[in-house]
Structure 1
Amino acid sequence: MDTTTYGLDIAKRVFQMYWVEPETGEIMNRRFSRQQLIEFLGQRVAGRVALEACGSAHWWARKIAALGHEVILLHAKFIRPFVQNNKTDAADARAICIAAQQPGMRFVAPKTADQQATLALHRLRSLLVKSRTMQVNQLRGLLYEFGVVLTAGRVAGLADVRERLHEVEQVVPGTLFDALRDQLQLIDRIDGDIKKLEKQLATWQRQESACKKIAGIPGIGPLTATALVATIGNPAAFKSGRELAAYLGLVPRQTGTGGKVRLGGISKRGDNYIRMLLIHGARAVLFKSKNKGPWCDQILLRRPVNVATVALANKMARTAWALLAHDQTYQHDYAAMRQAA
């Protein structure tokens, strides 16, 4: 008997499922509540349940897999072409089912609860960093309106305003000065929250063997290591390191017609947060590292700085996949050892 494929369109309270009964060939497109859906899938013979990789999709993937079904997640852009006419829950469920059965369709690997929690910590930290930047910029701008110019840079600027609080108090009206002092305390609290989250991520990095494997790659620190491992999940989900680099948007965008293919800038697909971490790490290697290696020196001679930075970020991602997929540790002189062998 062929495995039944279900197309499941999920929401907060209403769930639509499309499938074809294998015995009768009857087309089914039913709406369920949350509890009704769990009970229905628990009673059905194990099949393939396809979902769109959207909010709560990874939780549903783990829940449905626990009921004995195979779960596959699809990117929304791969589903949209199969939606006919108007977009409704029923049309979406049908499109998901059809898209999941297409040859060569690419799927999103479901994440574990730990991987999701790690990425959630990164999102919380990212929001706090953004909030801190906004607070510091506002403080700098408000003081500038009263003729107080702070030293450039976040750390130096905050240290400067604390040293000159007496001067600021003389220049700024009392009502505003109290508010500015409260804003400085708020920035300190945000700093403390950021450090607390970074400590939690560092603890997870020390406990996770995959993070230890890739942490030795130049340019990959605790933040990049934890975010990359949590994003990759199972390295077997990618056929090669290049496929991971393409998933992260670090490969050239291709356009072609009439047998001629043109390469443009990087595609910038995938998670821009991971891509940002890799590119910042690559830039740190190129301009801060004392022993960046001959590969970096040669590419800087042949290519512009930004192109070389992205190329190194691409190389870092592919190296990380190779270490995780083949269960190896990073060796700085690996290329030289292969040549000698």
Structure 2
Amino acid sequence: MGAYFDNAATTRCSDGAKARIIQALSEDYGNPSSLHTKGMEGENQIRKAREQICRTLKCKESELIFTSGGTESNNLAILGAAMANRRRGMHLITTEVEHPAVSAPMKFLEEQGFTVTRLKVDRDGLISPEELEQAIRPETILVSVMYVNNEIGAVEPVEEAARVIHRKNPETLFHVDAIQAYGKYLIYPGRQGIDLMSVSGHKIHGPKGVGFLYVREKTRIKPVIYGGGQQKNMRSGTENVPGIAGLGQAAQEACEMLSEKQEYMYQLKERFLAGLEGLEWAHVNGRTGRDSAPHIISLSVDGVRSEVLLHGLEEKGIYVSAGSACASNKPAPSGTLQAIHVKREYLDSTIRISFSGENTINEVDECLDVLKSLVPMLRKYTRH
């Protein structure tokens, strides 16, 4: 039968999003900057998507910037905020477990003379709000913390962090990478004290190559792409109308009956975890209860390299990943797993299982059956 359990890497585009994309490609194909009717049709697709997304966030339409995806959204938030506020200070705070789309621009800013403090995490991958408070200085201009960790599903204390930041230094901006959280949790950034928030379309059954950045009203950032002045000069380039249309539809669908979808994914996760009980070779990293993300499991398999297990599962039609998809083609061990002090022998023996609402209990059971027969066979060929 087979099953796709790599939804944290990307999801299947929904039928509703696909229909919007096709309409924008084949019918409403005008350049949204053009003044004629065809241009207005393209502009209307963007306007509708903006309305759909802003309803899910309870934010103003002027607080949304469409981007090419999560990486650009993170770069625009971090680099844009740093450049716009550098006269006020040059200190930034982030964590040891961020996605490369956050850690790389932070490293770039260090090369430009900024100072970056990286908060440590506990064995569950969580930051300490107390340590965050101690790290904030008068010259701290930005804090960037992910909402849900993309490898182990840790849910950071975002609202508490926001309170700490704005109490300690009201001028410090708070950026949240919500790429694995949006569509899994109700997020109202204005109410939760979030100034900047990144989202990617293909994590929520939308198309690849499109996302958005929420920018709270009156938050100062500078663009990182210059040109034709689209989106009020904040992100130049002809808008990706089909992508934006699909993103809007996917966002609306993702946030409809969200609590029911969340409950269903927790049931899938709990079924999978229950099936691992008693297996001496199975070790789950991070929290496993409902204080963790509903869709992500990090599983270390004693004595089997992750790449070997990944391909063994693939032969049975079951698709998982060896950690973060964005880093899975690189030999370097996971920074997140190292930060939570996973045993050295597990660093290259860890896979990620990630669910969506399209998965079924039968698929979970099938995956467990395959693991229980496959892993002992693979371990025979490994010294341990």
**TM-score, normalised to structure 2's length?**
0.27
Bigger RCO of structures 1 and 2 (CA < 8 A, at least 6 apart): 2
